[in-house]
Amino acid sequence: MNLALAVFVVVGFAGVLEYLDLPERARGVGKRSQDALAVLQNDSLDDREKEEALQGHARRLFGLLGILGGGSILALGGPLATVWGLERIGIGSFGAVLRILQRLDFLAATIAVGLLGYLLVRFLRPS
């Protein structure tokens, strides 16, 4: 049962990440950072225009940071809170699930299955 709950934590984490589109938002942070750097390097803008443009980028980056941070906490906290709640009603062991999540064989299997799933989705999804 604890192994199934550990798998639930991993799948739940990945599912929430995908549902909240956090990987795309992280790419958005990189793009927004490049745009801000381009503003700094733009010699056609005066200091006031640069400042206004950078403030706009900073607000959006701060919002994305909140979304990424909160989403990451939700992605991990949700499944773990579910396991904790199940332990309270006598189903599974929160400590045992944490130990399984830290085992090297479990981590290696998770990486292998995740990589295969990623490649399969990339292969099947039209570009």
Tell me, yes or no, whether 96 lies in a domain. Answer: yes
Is the residue at 127 inside a domain? no
Task: Examine residue 81 and state whether it is found in any structural domain, yes or no.
Answer: yes
DSSP label of 44: T
Confidence of residue 41 (pLDDT cuts 50, 70, 90): confident
pLDDT tens track for 81-97: 999 999 999 999 999 99
Q: Is the residue at 24 inside a domain? A: yes
Do 67 and 25 contact (CB within 8 A), yes or no?
A: yes
Cα–Cα distance for residue pair 73/39, rounded to 1 Å: 32
pLDDT tens digits, one per residue of 42-73:
888 888 888 888 888 888 899 999 999 999 99
* In-domain check, residue 121: no
Split into its structural domains, the chain has a count of 1
The answer to the question of residue 48 being in a domain is yes
In Å, how far are 55, 74, 83, 124 from 22, measured between CA atoms? 23, 11, 23, 21
Domain extent, residue 43, equals: 2-102
23 lies in some domain:
yes
